[in-house]
Amino acid sequence: MTDNEQNSIKETLHFLAESGLVTLGLGSVKITHKGIIEYEDAILNPHDHTELFPLDTIQSVSTESKKEQIRTIQRQRSEFLDEALRLSGGNPMQPVSDSDIESARGYNHSLVERIHFFCQDAGLIQPFATGGKFTLTPAGIRQAQEDPIS
């Protein structure tokens, strides 16, 4: 990799970090909740450019396969919340376990963990105890009762 390419990558990462889409660590980059939302929206709506993703960039990566992957994870997030609502009986004080959702939905642990953190970052659930237990927030209950989450 040339020095120009390295500098271009650094500039891009710093721009994304300043925009709140990623956080930078020692040798690592983590996409933020805001970054996930922005990315999904850009891929699912490639004709609506954003300030951060120019139209030509969006259209070059927005494939039907990528759109289907995003719709699948959005559906799985909704199912996670639906199951949490069912298991809690709609009670925001009733803890729910990730492992109970894994069993009920047939999801693997890695998927449930990613959805858990997405929902936590979105303010839809809050940690209850160690070991993957959480409670639904009022916003999470409303979301589970309404449209699929994105």
DSSP state of 108: -
**Kind and range of the H or E run holding 139:** helix 138-145
- Let me know how long the chain is: 150
pLDDT exceeds cutoff 80 at 139: yes
Strand-pair partners of 23:
30
8 A C-beta contact, residue 34 and residue 50 = no
- Determine the pLDDT at residue 62: 81
- Determine the pLDDT at residue 48: 72
CA distances to 83, 92, 100, 135, 149 from 146, rounded to whole Å, are 14, 16, 22, 18, 9
User: Strand order in 125-129's β-sheet?
Assistant: 96-97, 133-136, 125-129
pLDDT in tens, 32-85: 999 999 889 888 887 776 677 777 777 777 889 999 999 999 999 999 999 999
The per-residue b/e assignment along 3-32, b for 16 or more CB within 10 angstroms, e otherwise, is: eeeeeeeeeeeeebbeeebbeeeeeeeeeb
Q: Helix 109-121 to helix 98-105 angle, to the nearest 10 degrees?
A: 120
Task: Say how far residue 9 (Cα) sits from the centre of its chain.
Answer: 24
pLDDT in tens, 95-126: 999 999 999 999 999 999 999 999 999 999 99
pTM (2 d.p.): 0.83
- Determine the pLDDT at residue 149: 55
